[in-house]
């Protein structure tokens, strides 16, 4: 009977997971969702304002040829947006390109208050779109930045090629920053008899000449990070960009006239003296300005970090009824004695403890260099404390004093599921009826966090070591530090940081950062097969290796 139930369960899993198709990602050359700048909810005023802005942006009159800027709504939900096309694009093509970019960005960055993205078929159309909760006009921003480059390398006369490229870009930067409202320049320069280099630099026309110059110089400094030996390359920032190729990729009509050699001066000594004086002034002013700017940025970053940290801590401390003092935890664990050590994972050590009322607890003490930062700690405290289900581990409280971050859970005596199903001796205790009961309990816990709780919760790290077993071998899902919260009517999101354990992670999550309920279902399927077979998924290695295989992958 139990075996037939297991076959039925397995059939349901494969039907549920593999019948769900993944939506095709719209073509976009680059994008960034500014994940650290806040989210909006599905039915919020901010989303309504953003939709209106994106749908109407190309209906506005460009501030300058190929540059759109608009806003919609009232503070604090007002949204600002801008788009810029390459200067050689005709108005109709530019407008169509921006329209496609608005559709792409809304799909690629759902629920993010800020985003930037570009649409490009490399030769024909090129535009960049961005939106934010503040007015971007006149503000020079050089982050985030993006690299696009040819896969072909220069193999001969590399030094001369690089020198010519720098000479070309510096000349174009000077022309663009002195071009009045144009803020762009295009031109060419030959690398001896080998090849001709073509370049295009462009700033958003709302910048002043000095800000445009600063932006392009900063972008040029990034060039060695991507394109030292590349035949073609691009550096793109929110406020400016440049591109070079060994073919003429722009319309020749936008290229400037050839550079004329300087006219000799009749008073060479006097002219040199004046030039040296001007250079000294420029250098001194640049150095002083740079020092002031760097100091200001450092102060601002420290202030913002301190403010965010205080906000996180205060939000946690609002749940005072769950807070333990550090002394109580020390007494309960016999000062974190090794005799009370239950195990150790990627985020710290877990100890067995006993409170003064005789209640047994499991104490998770996060290591000082733990990858689980305050955001994850806040997630686990505020989220798990509100979850009440027999198949979810229950959080009893927390401790946050100085550098100490501690979580106090109910004590689950039979340790974790991997201790049984992968142990050749304990595995004999796992008869089919018991395995069926464990699978059903995990399913009920997942159903609760996916469908029945107030927020839809994606666990993102479901595996055998995160399933705890109580005295009756009932499973309890634990370790919610990596969860993501969705509104009930949300179904999918993207992330720039992929977290979890390889082998349990769905391919679209690893490759694209796209996660949803299906991500947990995939992990559950792997876990299901492990429970049925008693074998660890191939490629994991030892238990310690799999437990510490938590990874942060940058997704671009």
Q: Which residues of 307-332 are buried (b: 16+ CB within 10 A; e: fewer)?
A: eeeeebeeebeeeeebbbeeebbeeb
Domains and CATH numbers, the chain: 10-132 (3.30.430.20), 146-254 (3.30.430.20), 320-411 (3.30.200.20), 414-556 (1.10.510.10)
Dihedral sign (CA 383, 388, 392, 394): positive
Pairing between β-strand 195-203 and β-strand 233-236 as defined by DSSP bridges: unpaired
Pairing between β-strand 79-85 and β-strand 115-120 as defined by DSSP bridges: unpaired
CA distances for 545 relative to 463, 542, 550, angstroms: 13, 5, 10
Under 8 Å CB-to-CB from 20, ≥6 apart: which residues? 518
Neighbours of 243 (CB within 10 A): 22
Candidates 120, 418, 461, 547; catalytic one: 461
Under 8 Å CB-to-CB from 204, ≥6 apart: which residues? 67, 82, 84, 183, 239, 240
Provide the token pair at 459: 């666990």
pLDDT for the residue numbered 460: 76
Helix (H, G, I), strand (E, B) or coil at 243: strand
127, 95 Cβ separation under 8 angstroms: no
pLDDT for the residue numbered 243: 93
pLDDT for the residue numbered 215: 95
Q: Which residues of 211-237 are buried (b: 16+ CB within 10 A; e: fewer)?
A: bbbbbbebbbebbeeebeebbbbbbbb
What's the half-sphere exposure (Cβ side, CA atoms, 13 Å) at 489?
5
429, 373 Cβ separation under 8 angstroms: no
Sheet hosting strand 146-149, strand order edge to edge: 146-149, 233-236, 240-245, 195-203, 184-191
pLDDT for the residue numbered 170: 94
User: For the chain (length 556 residues), average pLDDT per consecutive 10?
Assistant: 48 39 47 87 92 88 82 94 91 85 84 88 74 93 88 84 92 88 89 85 92 94 87 92 91 65 40 55 74 82 60 49 85 91 76 90 78 59 75 86 84 87 84 92 89 74 88 86 46 46 68 71 89 69 35 33
Q: Is 77 a catalytic residue?
A: no
Cis peptide preceding 254, ω within 30 of 0: no
Provide the token pair at 229: 């030996």
252, 172 Cβ separation under 8 angstroms: no
Under 8 Å CB-to-CB from 28, ≥6 apart: which residues? 101, 104, 105, 108, 117, 118, 119
> Is this structure's pTM higher than 0.85?
no
232, 246 Cβ separation under 8 angstroms: yes
pLDDT for the residue numbered 279: 66
Quote the CA–CA distance of 555 and 24 in Å, as a whole number: 17
362, 409 Cβ separation under 8 angstroms: yes
């Amino acid at each position: 009977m139990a075996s037939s139930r297991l076959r039925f369960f397995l059939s349901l899993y494969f039907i549920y997971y593999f019948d769900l198709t993944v939506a095709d990602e719209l073509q976009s050359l680059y994008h960034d969702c500014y994940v650290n700048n806040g989210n909006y909810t599905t039915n919020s005023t901010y989303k309504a304002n953003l939709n209106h802005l994106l749908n109407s942006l190309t209906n506005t009159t460009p501030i300058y040829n190929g540059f759109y800027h608009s806003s919609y709504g009232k503070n604090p939900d007002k949204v600002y947006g801008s788009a810029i096309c390459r200067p050689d694009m005709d108005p109709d093509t530019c407008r169509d390109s921006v329209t496609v970019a608005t559709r792409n960005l809304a799909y690629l960055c759902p629920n993010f208050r800020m985003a930037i993205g570009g649409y490009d078929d490399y030769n024909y159309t090129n535009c960049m779109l961005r939106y934010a909760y503040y007015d971007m006009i006149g503000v020079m921003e050089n982050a985030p930045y993006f690299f696009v480059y040819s896969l072909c390398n220069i193999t001969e006369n590399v030094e001369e090629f690089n020198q010519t490229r720098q000479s070309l870009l510096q000349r174009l930067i000077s022309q663009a920053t002195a071009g009045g409202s144009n803020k762009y320049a295009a031109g060419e320069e030959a690398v001896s008899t080998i090849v001709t280099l073509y370049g295009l630099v462009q700033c958003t026309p709302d910048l002043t000449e000095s800000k445009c110059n600063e932006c392009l110089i900063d972008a040029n400094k990034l060039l060695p990070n991507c394109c030292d030996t590349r035949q073609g390359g691009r550096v793109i920032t929110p406020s400016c960009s440049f591109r070079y190729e060994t073919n003429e990729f722009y319309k020749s009509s936008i290229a400037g006239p050839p550079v004329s050699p300087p006219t000799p001066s009749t008073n060479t000594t006097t002219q040199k003296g004046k030039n040296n004086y001007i250079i000294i002034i420029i250098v001194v002013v640049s150095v002083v300005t740079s020092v002031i700017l760097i100091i200001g940025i450092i102060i601002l970053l420290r202030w913002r970090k301190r403010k965010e940290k205080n906000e996180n801590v205060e939000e946690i401390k609002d749940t005072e009824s769950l807070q333990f003092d550090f002394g109580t935890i020390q007494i309960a664990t016999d000062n974190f004695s090794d005799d009370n050590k239950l195990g150790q994972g990627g985020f710290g050590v877990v100890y067995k403890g006993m409170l003064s009322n005789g209640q047994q607890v499991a104490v998770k003490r996060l290591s000082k260099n733990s990858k689980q930062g305050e955001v994850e700690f806040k997630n686990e405290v505020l989220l798990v404390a509100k979850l009440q289900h027999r198949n979810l581990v229950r959080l009893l409280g927390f401790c946050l004093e100085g550098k100490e971050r501690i979580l106090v859970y109910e004590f689950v005596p039979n340790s974790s599921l991997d201790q049984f199903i992968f142990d050749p001796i304990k595995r004999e205790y796992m008869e089919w009826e018991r395995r069926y009961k464990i699978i059903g309990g995990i399913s009920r816990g997942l159903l609760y966090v996916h469908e029945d709780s107030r927020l839809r919760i994606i666990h993102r790290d479901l595996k055998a070591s995160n399933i705890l077993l109580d005295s009756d071998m009932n499973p309890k899902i634990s370790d919610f530090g990596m969860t993501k919260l969705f509104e009930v009517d949300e179904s999918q999101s993207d992330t720039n940081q992929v977290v979890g354990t390889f082998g349990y992670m769905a391919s679209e999550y690893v490759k694209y950062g796209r996660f949803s309920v299906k991500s947990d279902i995939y992990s559950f399927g792997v876990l299901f097969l492990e429970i049925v077979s008693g074998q660890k998924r191939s490629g994991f290695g030892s238990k310690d290796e799999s437990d510490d295989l938590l990874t942060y992958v940058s997704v671009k």
